[in-house]
Amino acid sequence: MVTKGNCFLDLENGETFHLQAGSLLLLPRGDAHIVRSSHGGRSRAVPVRVEYNNAIRVKTNTLGSSDTELICGRLQFDGGPSGLIVATLPAAILLNVNSERALGHMRRLVQMIDEELTSARAGALAVASGLSSALLVLMLRVHFEQADSSSGLLKLLCSPVCAKAVTAIVNNPAHEWTLDALAHRSHVSRATLVRAFQKAAGMAPRAFLAEVRLNLARQSLASTKQSLLRVSTAVGYASESAFVRAFKRRFGVSPGKIRPR
């Protein structure tokens, strides 16, 4: 959350975001990033100072007053369906609560979080954390409502025909799912299931299964130190080589490139 000034944020994939006061940037998979000044040229480096105001940690790298201020935090997700939703999100979601009137309720949440952390009164960290969780849910709601590419999963889950097959895949992605088995779970014919998946997500059930497996594997590679063999086995690939080939076809890079540095 940028509460004052502006800056740039660079991701490892080369993507750069210009953040301004009111910007909310969510990195669903916690990708490594660099925050840098929006001013051109080089300035004299100032060591980062860490201070505590009650339980609030404040990091500063300026000698005087700062022209840019940010609030940063990390939220942990459980596995299962919530992990699938995180895996299907883009590398970054950016909103600006100051530029869109429809996001006024989110702007008030940011102001409340900033006020709690600045005042550092008793319980401020707990209050700010709770407000941040609510802010996260609102960001995801806006993203799913606005991004057509992300709405397929919700449409599948809302479809009476597709939902049972999707739930079965998510709960056990490593299972050797066949079209017959998924159709049986959904209590429809194979043809009916395929048509329902195509209508909701523009892909066949088996293609959705592969998408789920690879996205969950990508999430695991980016957030853990598990071996490739263990990751590939956990999502249902019989061999590490088959997993590597499928991963490169889907994401354009080898699984090793996803590892955090």
Q: Render pLDDT for 105-135 as a digit per residue (tens, 0 to 9).
A: 999 999 999 999 998 888 899 999 999 999 9
At residue 176, the pLDDT reads: 93
The domain limits of the chain are 2-146, 151-258
At residue 29, the pLDDT reads: 78
pLDDT in tens, 80-112: 445 566 666 778 899 999 887 778 899 999 999
Residue 26 has pLDDT above 60, yes or no: yes
Domain 151-258, what architecture? Answer: Orthogonal Bundle (1.10)
* Tokens describing residue 116: 């709690």
Residue 173 has pLDDT above 60, yes or no: yes
Average pLDDT over residues 126-149: 83
Average pLDDT over residues 28-49: 78
Identify which has the larger pLDDT, 145 or 221. Answer: 221
Q: 48: pLDDT confidence band, cut at 50, 70 and 90?
A: confident
Q: 165: pLDDT confidence band, cut at 50, 70 and 90?
A: very high
At residue 87, the pLDDT reads: 61
Q: Out of 36-40, 223-227, 248-252, give the one with best mean pLDDT.
A: 248-252
Q: 3: pLDDT confidence band, cut at 50, 70 and 90?
A: very high
At residue 231, the pLDDT reads: 92
At residue 111, the pLDDT reads: 94
